[in-house]
Amino acid sequence: MAKERVSVKIQNTEFDIETEMEPLFISQLAEYVNKKLNEVRKEQHTQDTIKILSLTLITLAEEIFALKEEKENIKTELDRNIDELILHLESATRQ
């Protein structure tokens, strides 16, 4: 896929991004970032841009870590289920 220039607005600042990702996806990401920034701004009752950006980054990092942990838990459970199925299959083929 060829690189494309996509314009997005984050907190009233326009950014031109060169990317291979779909423009619609980039726009959705920008909307999500704006939503998170607004949530933090309202929770903190501040206009301090650096504080808002920093706390939003922490919030987003927390989401990523939680999703990674959830993914690992699912993978572990799936591996355990596969091992159990293999044992049952081996047991059934011995009979």
> Predicted confidence band at 9 (pLDDT cuts at 50, 70, 90)?
very high
Judged against a pLDDT cut of 80, whether residue 25 lies above it is answered with yes
Query: What's the predicted TM-score (pTM) here?
Result: 0.79
**Plot region of 45 (φ>0 → left; ψ -120 to 50 → alpha; else → beta):** left
CB atoms within 10 A of CB 55: 19
Residue owning tokens 């922490």: 58
CB atoms within 10 A of CB 37: 20
Q: Is pLDDT above 90 for 95?
A: no
Measuring CA to CA, which residue among 10, 64, 13 is closest to residue 38?
A: 10
Q: Report the share of the chain in percent with pLDDT over 70.
A: 99
Say how many domains are in the chain.
1
Residue 32, pLDDT > 80, answer yes
Its domain, for residue 11, covers 4-94
Round the average pLDDT of the chain to a whole number and report it: 95
- Note the pLDDT tens digit of each residue in 33-78: 999 999 999 999 988 999 999 999 999 999 999 999 999 999 999 9
